[in-house]
Amino acid sequence: MKRIVFLGSSVTYGSAAGGVSFADIVCEKNGYEMVKEAVSGTTLVDDDDLSYVSRLKRLNTDRADLFICQLSTNDAACQKPLGTVSAGRDKDGFDVKTVAGAIEYIISYASEKWGCPIAFYTGTRFDSAPYAEMVELLKEISKKWGTEIINLWDEPSFNAVSPEDHGRYMADPVHPTLTGYRDWWTPYIDRAIKDIFLKNREYIHTVQYYETDKMGITHHSNYIRWMEEARVDFLDCIGWDYAKLEEAGIVSPVLGISCDYRKSTTFSDKISIRVTVKEFKGVKLFLEYDMKNEKGETVCIGTSSHAFLNAEGRPVRLKTEHPGLYELLMRLAVNE
């Protein structure tokens, strides 16, 4: 069972919905184990023993598969100092009396303690210039650390909601109602969480004896086979395995492939392979394969590029012909 640790204040708690928030609904729906550390009226900035930083340090859970932290509106309302993104990564070097320092401390602490994916979520739009500045700061920090943002603030579909629906969904500019959590916030956040798990999924290959050479080292050609194994697993996990692609009349040939070998591997080594959609803009798909040994050392970085063609060998316009696959790949893509 996957365990998700949530850290936040009143929105994470569900103060306008009887203590039920999206966290409860998502975890119940998907069978995730929930650890919800949420206290209303608290801030990221470490001003007292109820701050996000203080409560995180006291949180007694030994494992997390995903850590999700709220970008607190209380810091904006209380006009806490914004601060700036630091150059370092040592958690003891961050100024936790600023929003930037507190966020970076939380990321560093959670990464060191659990080694799991980390995401921050924002609130939906309301009239607050200080919170808007916090969202922009979070983007900058996320770029530095490679963390995820579940960004309700900038999401077009959230900003396009009618005044009538907004009145049903929100008890006030900040806090959702139970209906708002269930019908508005949860579907988006649920999908975002599933995407994060997909991005961080690892395929495990155990090096076989026949894959090694006379020196006992894995022959270089096998890494390309492992990339295919991981790619097949990735497609299966996103719900578009090769059988489904072929049923839809799609073939996806390999256009190019490369391997950058970093360390040797030997018989019985367990190699974890994480597949990332490095780029997808509708026509070509570029994948990256980060292969690590059991010590966490990178042994190989692979890349492959792919097209989507029909039975006649002509490009398939996924955006119009298969919008579900198109939207999924666009969400998963890094597109640097």
Q: Which residues are known catalytic residues?
A: 213
Residue 67 has φ and ψ, to the nearest 5°, of: -115, 125
The answer to whether 16 touches 49, Cβ cutoff 8 Å, is no
CA distances, 274 to each of 38, 54, 288, 290 (Å): 32, 33, 8, 5
Three-class SS of residue 278? Answer: strand
CA dist 265 and 299 (Å) reads 7
* C-beta separation of 294 from 269 below 8 A: yes
Contact status, residue 195 vs residue 261, Cβ threshold 8 Å: no
Please state, in angstroms and rounded to a whole number, the distance separating the CA atoms of residues 271 and 202.
9
Matching residue, tokens 């995401």 = 119
* Cα(114)–Cα(108) distance, integer angstroms: 10
Report how far apart, in Å, the C-alpha atoms of 243 and of each of 226, 247, 251, 252, 280 are: 19, 6, 10, 12, 21
Question: Token pair of 248, please?
Answer: 């839809």
Instruction: Tell me whether residue 7 is exposed, middle or buried, using C-beta atoms within 10 angstroms of its C-beta: 0 to 12, 13 to 18, 19 or more.
Output: buried
CA 102 to chain centre: 20
215 bridge partner residues: none
